[in-house]
Structure 1
Amino acid sequence: MFDDDELYALLLSLLAGLATTVGGLIAILQKPDNKLLAFLLGIACGVMFTLSVVELFIKNGIENGFGWAEVLESKFTGKDDGMKLSKARLMRLGLLMAITMTLHNLPEGFAVAFSSFTSIGPVMAAAIGVHNVPEGIIVAAPVYAATGSRRQALMMATASGLSEPAGALLALYFIKPYLTPMILHCILAGTGGMMSAVCVIELYPEGKKCKHDGQLWRGIAFGTMLMAGTLYVGV
């Protein structure tokens, strides 16, 4: 069913995707209070915005992505209920993060799959794995804060990462004959637009509701530097 090269591609994408589980484990070490949650939401904002701008920014993609984010927001976040940061809103925010990261990880699975046929395959998988760690944190943290369930938070983080080997499977068996660099760039750009919109529409306002602006901005700075560093090493 799979030849050796395809198995190798799937293995690399699986290992890279499971790095989100590592991030999830970090997030559930301690249930966040509002101060820690502000810092974690700041990290999420810094990570996602840096990733979208540095790696995925294309004007048309940004425009399309804002449209996708509005749809997701209406589905999963509902209307603003004032300054209260409720458990229901945190759970919806966690779901939104999981969906956004899943969409982001699918084309990364394409990249790992195709790079596995070259000498840079392991380097690509390792670099993507490194930046998947903070992605796991930003998915798991709001879910854990909302539910108090370590298992649920960890499962959500892991599930978002498993979209990476799913993307590799799609790339190898369905998309490869039709995928062009332009199509891949448009997919990435649209995802980047949605990630930028989520930062503006959801993450930053939710972080402000924690009433710890200093922690929020420290998280944004840390997340920005963290993602910039992982992008620098080769993502």
Structure 2
Amino acid sequence: MTLSTLAGLATTLGAVVAVWKKPDARAMAFLLGVAIGVMTSLSFVELYAKNVIEHGFWSVTAATLGGAGTDDEKDAIAAGRVSRARLLRLGILMAFAMTLHNLPEGFAVACASYTTIGPTMAFAIGMHNVPEGIIIAAPVYAATGSRSRAILLATASGLSEPVGALIALKFMKPYLTPTRLEHLLAGTGGIMVAVCALELWPEARKCGNSDNMYRGVIFGAALMMLTLYLGA
């Protein structure tokens, strides 16, 4: 529980970074690009490709597509300026997606805590929770101007990790095999890819700073790959 709580609270650190100064259009384009880079690289490398190698193509792909199918946004590619309402909605959506992502991570930390890699896994998860806090807090702060709301929403999302750990330890431990855990993570990876394609990319394009968005994508992907390398 301690390891999962510390890892989850790393989202608060990311939120503090995001609200230090209210982001303008250029900063939002970069931060949304970071989100795309972080989420797609994590989803493909760690939650999909690695799972395919270890557990087989068909079942993992089915779990990933099932997760992707849960995002049914109809107007994600509509033209127009990024409004406060859409930014707030985006922040809440990101918090929801990250909560779904963090719950099985809490499962993973709880299971790994019984092995020697428990602290390493918690550290790696905590590192990539920092940019997750940024991508939740930045649009909420831009929409509402409230630092406290942005930080609280990001923190609440991060604290789903110890909730996931508690569920795993108290209720699911007899049934939570490594294979089932990896398929659950693959499903959350599908959710994150769908959010990137249907939500983040169109919103980032509306900021009118494509160069900054692409820089963010590269930076986010590099940051996530470094995190995964350090946690390997």
Matches of 1:142 and 1:229, distance apart in 2: 25
1:65-214 matches, within 5 Å, as 65-70=67-72, 73=73, 82-214=79-211
Query: Does the alignment pair 1:22 with 2:22?
Result: no
The count of residues paired between Structure 1 and Structure 2 equals 221
Normalising by structure 2, what TM-score?
0.92
Contact 2:31 2:135 in 1 (8 A): yes
Greater than 4 Å deviation, 4+ residue runs: 78-81
Q: Deviations over 1:64-93 (max 9, x none)?
A: 1221111xx36xxx6665221100000110
Aligned residue type for 1:126:
F
Q: Deviations over 1:106-152 (max 9, x none)?
A: 11101111111222211111111111111111111111111110000
> 2:69 aligns to what SS in structure 1?
helix
> 1:84 aligns to what SS in structure 2?
coil
1:57-68 matches, within 5 Å, as 57=48, 58-68=60-70
Aligned residue type for 2:85:
A
| Equivalent residue number for residue 57 of structure 2 | none
1:97 Cα offset (Å): 0.5
Contact 1:109 1:167 in 2 (8 A): yes
Contact 1:61 1:192 in 2 (8 A): no
1:182 Cα offset (Å): 2.2
Normalising by structure 1, what TM-score?
0.91
Matches of 1:80 and 1:120, distance apart in 2: 42
Matches of 1:134 and 1:141, distance apart in 2: 10
| Equivalent residue number for residue 3 of structure 1 | none
Matches of 1:168 and 1:32, distance apart in 2: 34
- For the aligned residue pairs, the C-alpha RMSD in angstroms reads 1.3
| Equivalent residue number for residue 41 of structure 1 | 32
